[in-house]
Structure 1
């Protein structure tokens, strides 16, 4: 099994950045989901509510995050910045405090997207003085894992084998195939033990590191969003077809496996790395 893609999403719900190599951390790949958008009440906002977020493209260098959209000049956010004012935010069941990036970022988002529920959206960054631990039921005794603003796990792993099976079913139903970008994975591999096998628990061992898949990723309408245009060409697909392909005993549409890092914090990970897979925890 070979890693074919590495991607980070610095701002939750915005576009991704393809990488050829990165560094492994307990909270995921560096800068992944380090920022997110919130409404006036501090609740997180994603493509579930605003599909157009997909068309905002981020870039990163050693000094700054830049957000770009063809309709207006870019927004630049320094990576190292003196921020002291914390604001309460909520992400699923997590109640956190985050740093607000300020009026300039909020104005930029408002000019592009308009107000959300009668107020500007805010851009917030994760406060690394706090931690957001993975639920204990997904960990073995002695294991620890954290994430920043990802939905629940530091890594999402998907296989091209599963995408091929989904696209074959879509085409058989007269629907348009989709690209892997719809599923917003951090790590894409060419194959595992057959289509959708990454929905099961596995240990994936590379050179100096071990990842563990601990939970299948249940999908929502975000996968119906075209990640280039920020529109929904077909509001029902590929979600409807994925539901019909569910190999698990529990109901739902699943694609990709949520994973944690067991060993190798600080080690490099690269496109082309060979991984050895072992079923189970």
Structure 2
């Protein structure tokens, strides 16, 4: 088994960046979901409400954010130096209280124009710790929906695509790490511990999928698949019935992982 893809999503619910290697921190891939768009009142925004967010492709190095607009003829790219010296404001993530550093009027105006909805850009405060967990597993995360790492497999996607009239790419599922070489599709369901390169990962929770998987990440258009087909054979009971694809977890050791690294089952 090997790693075939690595992806980081610095701006939550927007386009991802493919990596050849990734630095793994306690919060997952460095800079993953470190920035987020919120309503003027502070509620987080996602492709659930604004599918057009898929068209925003951020590049972020921890200091400077650059985003190409969905319509280059109507808007220039955004280049923004992320400010950390401002006081954090109260925001909500899935209605739970959280904190974010507002990035000011210029960034807010650019994103509001690009998406056609009023919004503001916030960054994860340097001194903020967001604790997340599932059952007996607890750790840290940035602004990820749930746990900080999402692992999927090429075998699982291939099995799903045999059931679809039109195959979908892995981008629909927005994984951090894609693995190839499972013996069976969805083998990740029963795996708890992996070693990927020099990093140990604890996989603890099936990833419940929502309507975002129905958004074409290249066009920002929402359809009915693959969620409808997934629901027919991948609905499981966790805390409630969930349609699942992939598994989320925590990095338990820091380090660097690379495309092509071996993946070893530890349990």
Work out whether the TM-score is over 0.5.
yes
| Secondary structure of residue in 2 paired with 1:104 | helix
**Which ranges of 4 or more aligned residues in structure 1 deviate by more than 6 Å?**
none
Q: What SS is found at the alignment partner of 2:242?
A: coil
- 1:130-169 equivalences in 2 (<5 Å): 130-135=128-133, 137-139=135-137, 145-169=139-163
Q: What is the CA RMSD across the aligned residues, in angstroms? A: 1.7
Number of aligned residue pairs: give it.
262
Aligned with residue 111 of structure 1, among 92, 110, 113: 113
Could you say what secondary structure the match of 2:246 adopts? strand
Is residue 260 of structure 1 aligned with residue 250 of structure 2?
Answer: yes
Distance 1:249 1:62, change over 3 A: closer
Once the two structures are superposed, the pairs formed by residues 59-98 of structure 1 within 5 Å of their partners are 59-61=59-61, 63-71=63-71, 72-79=75-82, 81-92=83-94, 94-98=96-100
Partner of 2:156, secondary structure, is helix
Compared with structure 1, are the counterparts of its residues 63 and 93 closer, same or farther at alpha carbon in structure 2 (3 Å cutoff)? Answer: closer
* Structure 1 gap ranges (5+): none
TM-score (norm 1): 0.88
20-29 or 106-115, which moves further after superposition? 106-115
Shift of 1:85: 2.6
**Pair 1:216-2:206 in alignment:** yes
- 2:41 counterpart of 1:47: no
The offset of 1:203, in angstroms, is 0.7
Structure 2 residue 199 is the aligned partner of structure 1 residue 196: no
**Could you list the runs of 5+ residues in structure 2 that have no partner in the other structure?**
none
DSSP 3-state at the match of 1:182: helix
**Which has more strand, going by share of residues?**
2
Whether the 8 Å contact between 1:199 and 1:254 is mirrored in structure 2 is no
